[in-house]
Structure 1
Amino acid sequence: MTIEAHRDTRATRHLSALDAAIQILTTARGSSYSADQAFDELLDSSMRHQVDVGDLAEALADLADGIRPEADDHRRARDVAAREWGAFLP
């Protein structure tokens, strides 16, 4: 796989994860919570914890789906997602 193809795959994965994470947050926060607010929450958390927003979105989506990725796969993002949103996820 070329570097460009790898970037496209990662970018596509992150966009999909962002959509999922926004949906997770809007559902968890209630109907008055907008997609823009959910994105802002993700971005704020990303900046506060210095974690890539795409990685954080993937970690939140994985956490919500009960997926336990490989031990070293975005461990910091998973830790941040668990601290930030773990309490309201099943």
Structure 2
Amino acid sequence: MGRRALTRQDATGAYPRGVEILLWLVPPVLVTAAAMCWVGWVGREGRGEVDRDVAARRLARALQHERPGRYAAPTPERDRSTGVAVRPSRRAS
């Protein structure tokens, strides 16, 4: 008897109607795809050929700048804290 109930349930399926839970994703996906196409179409207009003379001048100017060293000067190493608070000693008057 248990087998019949399981096969009958499997035959009808867990959902009597088709699963429509993901249909809400269709409009955002379409809008995103359209926006990507539009941005690609509009963005291509500004792309032109690079002027090699201007690029070479910019590169030469950037390479001539004096740049600081790659690493900063090392900071003096401090004593590691022991976690014990020590008050400074008082002078005897």
- TM-score under structure 1 normalisation? 0.26
Higher RCO structure, 1 or 2 (CA under 8 Å, sep 6+): 1
Higher Cα Rg: structure 1 or 2?
Answer: 2
